[in-house]
């Protein structure tokens, strides 16, 4: 088989319920289709050619039978906090490069604030300095969003970032919290 284009995109795999459950390679996508385990919902313009046939590459596939899977918790890391907050300082609202960001305990640790999803937010260095060891109220600062534990889909979350998400996937991801720029992890304790 040969390619008509070197830029190979993966396929989005949906459960029988249309819920995205993962990102798979084109090879796996085609195998699942041939085995009758999945149907192609949407295809790319790209195709592979064998001697006897041309197959458009699946962009979105849906499993023919419902598969149970376990939703994983998103790992609590510095980088995942940035991702949850879309690299936006939760006080001044500006977007920064990771190197210009830090994280802030909303309720300071000195006042019993915990290092958890619901008490840690993305913060720029300026706002971090300004807030110091105070609550947002005491510092006269307002949070953009109330922090909470994110619900990303694990496989999608760890596979692509937002700019790389193929168009045909958007219909299936837009309502899904997985539609977020992802990254791998940096430990909050060890970076």
Binding residues (CB under 5 A) for Zn ion: these are 89, 91-92, 124, 127
Q: Do 41 and 62 form a contact (C-beta atoms < 8 A)?
A: yes
- Shortest Å distance, C-beta 143 to Zn ion: 11
Closest CA to 85 of 181, 186, 175, 185: 181
- Shortest Å distance, C-beta 114 to Zn ion: 22
Q: Nearer to Zn ion by C-beta: 21 or 89?
A: 89
The position carrying tokens 């510092």 is 139
Quick check: helix, strand or coil at residue 184?
coil
CA 171 to chain centre: 16
- Shortest Å distance, C-beta 128 to Zn ion: 8
- Shortest Å distance, C-beta 145 to Zn ion: 14
What is the rounded radius of gyration, in angstroms, for the C-alpha atoms of the chain? 21
- Shortest Å distance, C-beta 144 to Zn ion: 10
Q: Nearer to Zn ion by C-beta: 93 or 187?
A: 93
The position carrying tokens 């090879």 is 27
Tokens of 150: 């994110």
Q: Nearer to Zn ion by C-beta: 143 or 170?
A: 143
CA 131 to chain centre: 29
How far, CA to CA in Å, does 27 sit from each of 23, 47, 142, 155, 165?
12, 12, 49, 17, 18
Q: Nearer to Zn ion by C-beta: 67 or 143?
A: 143
């Amino acid at each position: 088989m040969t390619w008509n284009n070197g830029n190979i995109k993966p396929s989005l795999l949906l459960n029988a319920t249309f819920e995205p459950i993962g990102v798979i390679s084109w090879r796996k996508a085609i195998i699942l289709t041939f085995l009758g385990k999945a149907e192609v919902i949407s295809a790319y313009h790209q195709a592979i050619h064998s001697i006897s046939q041309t197959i458009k590459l699946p962009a979105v596939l849906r499993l023919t039978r419902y598969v149970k899977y376990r939703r994983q918790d998103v790992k609590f890391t510095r980088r995942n906090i940035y991702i949850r907050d879309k690299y936006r300082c939760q006080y001044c609202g500006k977007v920064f490069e990771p190197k210009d960001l830090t994280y802030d305990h909303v309720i300071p640790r000195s006042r019993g604030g915990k290092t958890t999803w619901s008490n840690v937010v993305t913060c720029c260095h300026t706002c971090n300095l300004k807030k110091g060891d105070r609550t947002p109220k005491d510092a006269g600062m307002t949070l953009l969003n109330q922090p909470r534990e994110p619900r990303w889909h694990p496989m999608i979350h760890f596979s692509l970032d937002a700019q790389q998400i193929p168009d045909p996937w958007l219909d299936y991801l837009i309502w899904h919290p997985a539609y977020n720029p992802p990254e791998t992890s940096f430990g909050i304790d060890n970076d």
